[in-house]
Copies of this chain bind each other. A is one copy, B any other.
Amino acid sequence: MNLPGSQPARQQPTSGVAAAAAGSAAAAPAGSPEAAQATEQVGGQSGGRSLDPHLRRYAQRAAGMRASEVRALFAVASRPEVVSLAGGMPNLAALPLDTLATDVAELVATEGQSVLQYGSAHGLPALREQICDVMALEGISAHADDVVVTVGSQMALDMVTRVFCDPGDVVLAEAPSYVGALSTFSAYQAEVVHVTMDDEGLQPEALRQALDTLAGQGRRVKFLYTIPNFHNPGGVTLAVRRRAEILDICARHGVLVIEDNPYGLLGFSDQTYPALRSMEADNVVYLGSFSKTFASGLRVGWALAPHAVREKLVLATESATLCPPAFNQAIVSRYLARYDWQGQIKQFRAAYRERRDAMLAALDQHLPPGCSWTKPDGGFYVWLTVPEGLDTKAMLPRAVTQRVAYVPGTAFYAAGFGSRQMRLSYCYPTPERIREGVRRLASALEAEQELLHTFGARSAGGGRPEVAGGQSPSPDTA
């Protein structure tokens, strides 16, 4: 049963499958790819198609490298007067910076000769052991040999795609899916087919149908990319009773499962869901991260992969960066060894739960009729559906004028969906700011409905917020 707010399912073709070149939805509303980039340029230089002397030299994949709408948004949303419900930046306020400072200093002074030196592409052995302990909280039993440390789990995803995807290969992903994953799949010219999700996560029946349809078309499907827990941007969690079924469907179709789980330990009910990897070791590559449970600026993530795949991943990471920073790995390892990191995660959970409560209460209180949204039990995000006739991308500049920002739903689809959705994040602002942001969003939506009533659908047209400066956080931290 699709609950209110799980609108993406309704926007899918009835087959549950929508094949499209990944990333194309993130282009500028009109014009060449370079037109999109031009919006973020600094210093008045032009990057228009005719002025780029290198244009004919680029690889085919570069055609998909376009600045997303999220990027333009961020520069605006970072102004202090705007309440940003757009970013996915974790809240680090609870980190024990003073003791951490002392500890990092000791690391430099006593082990600087090794931790400031090149390391292995595979990752620090001690850290890989500790990562197994972290994953054990989700029921995973693994050997440290099969863990590959990466520069954030984004790099793990990039490496998995590098190892598996030829141009034209199909990747299945939830509808909607993580914007940074779509961008990686696009970089490798893989095509994304979205599979319907509801409030219990990915629908097994839709997955089965999609795989059957694709098999009938003779398409090569390389993997299912899924975020089972506290989905980004969906805010829903894959029901436990669906998990074995999803694994079974993929195994029977010979399709690998990429389980991306950055939020798994950030559940609000003190429940930790069993990882897909805990149920099936041979057909799952698990991606983890310390960005949300410790510090995103260290960029330490990992992949846990079947042994043969792990070997390919190590070789791929070697050619990509030689090795992840030894220093950062040593800091995380020391943090895990010396701090009550599980206690710290409890603090993070409490902080995010308070913010989630503030957002859900404010949405209930302020949003006009016809809106619906998911009720996340963990993680960072609420997925909001606005009344028919409104367009979340078109209205964004006007919302920013009202000093509130969000990410339009279209960013989370390979193409053509999400125009009535938006992602709201409650991870970073204070509860008071969240309430204020939702109030502003509500009045922006009401103004939009007023426009719609007066002038008809989408009369105000599209448009993007102007970008004042070139220094904006990565859109994929959205």
A residues at B contact (CB < 8 Å): 34, 37, 40-43, 45, 47, 51-55, 57-62, 65-67, 89-90, 92-93, 95, 97-98, 100-102, 104-109, 112-122, 125, 143, 145, 151-152, 154-155, 158, 162-166, 169, 180, 183-184, 186-188, 222, 254, 256, 282, 291, 295-299, 306-309, 311-312, 315-316, 318-328, 470-477
Contacts and interface: CB of A to CB of B under 8 A. Distances in A.
Contact of A321 (B34, B47, B151, B166): B151
A250 to B, nearest CB: 12
A154 B47 contact: no
Contacts of A125: 471
Contacts of A34: 308
A35 to B, nearest CB: 12
Contacts of A475: 318
A343 to B, nearest CB: 18
Contacts of A104: 101, 104-105, 108
A93 B66 contact: no
Contacts of A118: 89, 291, 296-297, 473-474, 477
B307 A325 contact: no
A457 B292 CA distance: 59
Contacts of A102: 105
A297 B115 CA distance: 6
A355 to B, nearest CB: 17
6 contacts: A47-B307, A65-B315, A95-B116, A102-B105, A120-B474, A325-B328
Q: Which 10 A-B pairs have the closest CB atoms?
A: A105-B105, A52-B308, A101-B108, A116-B295, A101-B109, A297-B326, A97-B112, A116-B297, A65-B315, A118-B477
B470 A309 contact: no
A101 B107 CA distance: 8
Nearest to A328: B325
Contacts of A318: 180, 183, 474-476
A426 B454 CA distance: 77
Contact of A312 (B62, B93, B115): B62
- Give the one of A52, A89, A107 with max B CB within 10 A: A52
Nearest to A66: B315
Contact of A322 (B116, B154, B169, B472): B154
